[in-house]
Structure 1
Amino acid sequence: MTGEIDYADDDEIVVREAVPGDYPAVAAFTADTWEGGDYIPDVFPRWMESDDPDTRTFVAVDTTESPPGPAAVDAVDPADVEAVADDRAVGICQAVGLSEHEGWMQAMRVDPEYRGRRLSRALNDAGFHWLHETGRRVARNMVFSWNTGGLGASRVNGFDPGTEFRWVQPEPDADATARTDAASEIDADPDAAWSFWTDAATRDALDGLALDDTESWALSALTRERLRTVAADDRLLTVSSPDGGIGGFSFRVRTSEREDDDGETQVRGEYGVAAWDGAESCDALLAAISRDAAAVGADTTRVLIPESVDWVSDTALAGADIGDEPDFVMRADLTERHWE
């Protein structure tokens, strides 16, 4: 596929699908992406082991340079490398198909020595092309709001502004209660939740998106079928309105394990979105999430909400911990042929 189009406007650079032998070079240029390190060296071997038809990992390679050997990279165990590639990987990006029509772009990294040579554009083009060829017509990515360089690069590379969200983290608590009894948890009804969602200001603010079922940092369209699935698995939470009827809902996407700053393993309950109408329903919904998280043994939570003073202040009023900054979601229309 990468032989059909010359994505890189650089005679020395070629974009191709990643192979296991790219590991030493990828680990070398991603080891110090941020002060706290980067997840790429850890996950790259797993990416190469999986045969996932909905995922493609691309690398930009310098065909004139030899890659480092495994022994030259501290982050690499030579035993993990089948064979070193013939050329030097200097950029990486992954494209993921989230549904039949939606794609997600992630893990964009470029070797600092090669920045300024439009490699991120070439890598994005390869991902866009593959997503389009597999039937997807929209691609999204996520950029931390503080990452102004990433925001600018996303715009240059074909993404337009999408939406923004923030994480909130109610404490798991089996005995959590709302501050008032104006609203309370009610029997989960996926069709009632869907009806609420279709008219919710939350849906409009988030462009209909929620945390994806499979990719931990991706957002995809929330559908009626997804709500019915989570309800069948006893993962849908609904609360009443003070005036009666449904006042809000959330759903648990998964639990995941992660290490805290002390190296201890913690279980995190992840909730795809929290949508409510009014502070009382927000209070009841966050209490229901706290009880649900405790019931599944979670030590922490993260819940996706829209970025707005209304929703953020409602959660603050309810006493939930709130992330310091929002995250931005960008979108690219793949009916436009960005790679040409």
Structure 2
Amino acid sequence: MSRAAERWDPATKRAVALIMLALLALLLYRFRGVLPPLLISFLLAFILDPVVDFLEARARLSRTVATALVFILVALALLAAPAMAAPSVVRAVRSLNLDFAQIAADLDRLMAQPLVFLGQEWDLRQVYGEFRQTLEAFLSTVASGTVDVVVGFASTLFWLVFILLSAFYLTRDGDRIVAWVESLAPPFFRDDFIRLRLRITEVWHAFLRGQLVMALLLAAITTAVAMAVGLPNGLALGLLAGVMEFIPNIGPIIAAVPAVLVAFFEGSTWLPLSNVWFAVLVLGLYILIQQVEGNVLLPRVLGRSLNLHPLIVLVAVIAGGSLAGVLGMLLAAPMVATLRVLGEYIYCRLTDQDPFPEPVQPPPPRWGLGRQLWNRVRRRVLADRWVVRPARPEDRAGVEAICARIWEGHDYVPEVWEEWLADPHGQLTVVELGERVVALGKLTRIADDEWWLEGLRVDPAYRRLGVARLLQAHQVEVAERVGRGTLRLGTSASNRPVHRNVARDGFRRAAEFLSYVADPLPGPCPLRSLTADDLEAAWGVIEGSPVLRAAGGLYEVSWHWMDLTRERLAAHLAAGEVWGGDLEDGLAALAILPPNPRAERLSVGYVDGEPEGVTALAWGLRVLAARRCFEKVRVRPPTYPPLLAALEAAGFARVWEHCFWIFERPLGTAVNDDR
């Protein structure tokens, strides 16, 4: 190695890193005035990026053209908003009909007399005189500050242009910027960095989407309530309530103040109430609206995306306001949620836990009536345009585009694409619409009499249009034509659309499984590798056991569930893939460890035995995983309570909220429906 290519020693690396951090901190402090506009640019780009992606994909526009079109519309909206709002504001101010001269005269008369309170006289003339002098000086300053107003307007216009230009370039080149930032992460940390970025992005997406929906809802509800009770300027007050919704906790209070003041000074346009009681009514209605928002709307709109206690949000808003003003108050909640994501990651790394456990599949969303009707119309229009055909090599790009939107971009299908495409015994099928691949699925032959459906994916833009049902029906038809025996598939217990589709195609639920994981454990291994000589003892543990009955007679090999037969057990024994634990009476429990070259975990395909023996076996599997340098031990047991309790006693923890259901149907049985 040449002198120039020698590695820096740790001391040099630390020194350079500290110097760079110091320079970065100095630059941030020196140009701190640019940070708020730049942060607003990032937020604007973050919000508009999905819109640009939509135009780029659907309208077939280039990234630059789509971005320019979106920002032209934004600029036009910014120009049109003041012009449209100015007349309403002027009318609202005029409608107050406040006679400031009369109010000043009344105050002069009131303050000219001593104030009697609780038998004591209070002379407020001096205090009032000082207040009036201060107010007059302030108004004089405002009246003579025309030049300052012009300068301030020019400065605001400059920063507005800066924000729009910065956001334009960030939106147009966002993907390249993200890829460049990800490339800077060290190789050993890059995967964690990408997952952290995706989680943080999800937090901000959830916050911004939820806040926008909440703002629109609050604006509509407040406007409707204000007009219903005859509150003047109801539309303006409703818009104010919508804007203030972006400031957590404090924003609704700020929005309520002008409404109560308008009610107090103006009264209702039709309710026979005094101004005081009308103001009390308006205050009560605002409180009621906030209760409905907090207890009904907010949980439904935002769900548990941020999962922050209100007290934490309140403290964060106050702290954000003191540090960064209004912008800090606006971004307090998502910033705290981001810090929570980072804190959870650091805690998991410090305690040697998995910071990215297997994701839990959420329940399907419930679409509204309008969306259901729209999907029905689209389904009928597109019914004759779907093309179901075997996959071809040139379909890879379309398939990867679909998989990029699934499981945070960590779908395994691109990794097995070539293998699936070259499979001579099964069939990889795609659904095409106008030369665009919108769905795919794989029919795999496990054995001559066992077949498996897997990899069913539908482009999110084409879901709920019957594509999955069409594809699955085609695959069942192919399996009926080329296969015999049993056809199976697996899906989450929460995936109700798939449940309906498999019921139509004659499937029945055969078993349900969970997923348990544990960390490796150093120490002596109490297990032994079983051999062909142990076949009778091993089959004696399995045959007729309640675990096998709960599993529907199945066991798992690389996400494929198949019949556990004596012949297959013998094959695993011959390959050295069965491990057992002995008690005084002999073999008490066993585990089948089928090979899985893609896994970073020790995968256990089947566990059976006496509960005490299973617990000892599970401890031994953790030791075996440590010896083989696996990151985790993963077991997918059937929902048999004694087995689950035995695993938990050995330190295994459940990682799936929902069960994984296995469905099966015999081949050679035609199913007629109104498909």
TM range (shorter): 0.7 to 0.9
User: Which residue in 2 is equivalent to 1:254?
Assistant: 595
Q: After TM superposition, which residue ranges in structure 1, 4 or more long, deviate above 6 angstroms?
A: none
For 2:425 and 2:563, the matched residues in 1 are separated by: 17
Deviation track 1:274-318 (CA, whole Å, cap 9, x = no partner) reads 11222x111221123223333433222212311133221221122
Paired residue for 1:208, among 546, 553, 575? Answer: 553
User: Which residue in 2 is equivalent to 1:68?
Assistant: none
Whether 1:235 and 2:577 are equivalent positions in the alignment is yes
Q: Counterpart amino acid of 2:565?
A: T
For 2:583 and 2:654, the matched residues in 1 are separated by: 23
Paired residue for 1:287, among 619, 628, 632? Answer: 619
Show structure 1 runs of 5+ residues with no match.
1-8, 66-86, 179-183, 259-266
Offset, 1:241: 4.7
After TM superposition, list the pairs within 5 Å mapping 1:103-252 onto structure 2.
Answer: 103-175=451-523, 188=531, 189-212=534-557, 216-241=558-583, 244-252=585-593
Paired residue for 1:32, among 395, 398, 405? Answer: 405
Greater Cα offset, 149-158 or 107-116: 149-158
Offset, 1:176: 5.3
Q: Counterpart amino acid of 1:228?
A: A
Greater Cα offset, 165-174 or 101-110: 165-174
Higher Rg: 2
The 3 A distance-change label for structure 1 pair 14 and 158 is farther
Does the CA contact (< 8 Å) of 2:529 and 2:577 recur in 1? no
For 2:528 and 2:416, the matched residues in 1 are separated by: 39
Secondary structure of the 1:60 match is strand
User: Which residue in 2 is equivalent to 1:58?
Assistant: 429
For 1:116 and 1:322, the matched residues in 2 are separated by: 31
After TM superposition, list the pairs within 5 Å mapping 1:2-17 onto structure 2.
Answer: 10-17=383-390
User: Which residue in 1 is equivalent to 2:655?
Assistant: 323
Does the CA contact (< 8 Å) of 1:249 and 1:275 recur in 2? yes
Show structure 2 runs of 5+ residues with no match.
1-381
Offset, 1:106: 0.8
The 3 A distance-change label for structure 1 pair 257 and 44 is closer
The 3 A distance-change label for structure 1 pair 257 and 58 is closer
Whether 1:274 and 2:622 are equivalent positions in the alignment is no
User: Which residue in 2 is equivalent to 1:19?
Assistant: 392
Q: TM-score under structure 1 normalisation?
A: 0.76
Cα-Cα RMSD: 2.6
Decide which structure has greater helix share. 2
For 2:563 and 2:449, the matched residues in 1 are separated by: 10
The 3 A distance-change label for structure 1 pair 57 and 248 is same
Deviation track 1:198-246 (CA, whole Å, cap 9, x = no partner) reads 121011001111112xxx211111121222222222221122355x133
The 3 A distance-change label for structure 1 pair 185 and 176 is same
Offset, 1:105: 0.4
The 3 A distance-change label for structure 1 pair 208 and 288 is same
After TM superposition, list the pairs within 5 Å mapping 1:34-113 onto structure 2.
Answer: 34-48=407-421, 50=422, 52-62=423-433, 65=434, 87-113=435-461
Does the CA contact (< 8 Å) of 2:615 and 2:647 recur in 1? yes
For 1:113 and 1:296, the matched residues in 2 are separated by: 43
May I ask how many residue pairs the two structures share in their alignment?
289
Offset, 1:14: 2.2
Q: Counterpart amino acid of 1:47?
A: W
Q: Counterpart amino acid of 2:541?
A: F
Offset, 1:37: 4.4
User: Which residue in 2 is equivalent to 1:81?
Assistant: none
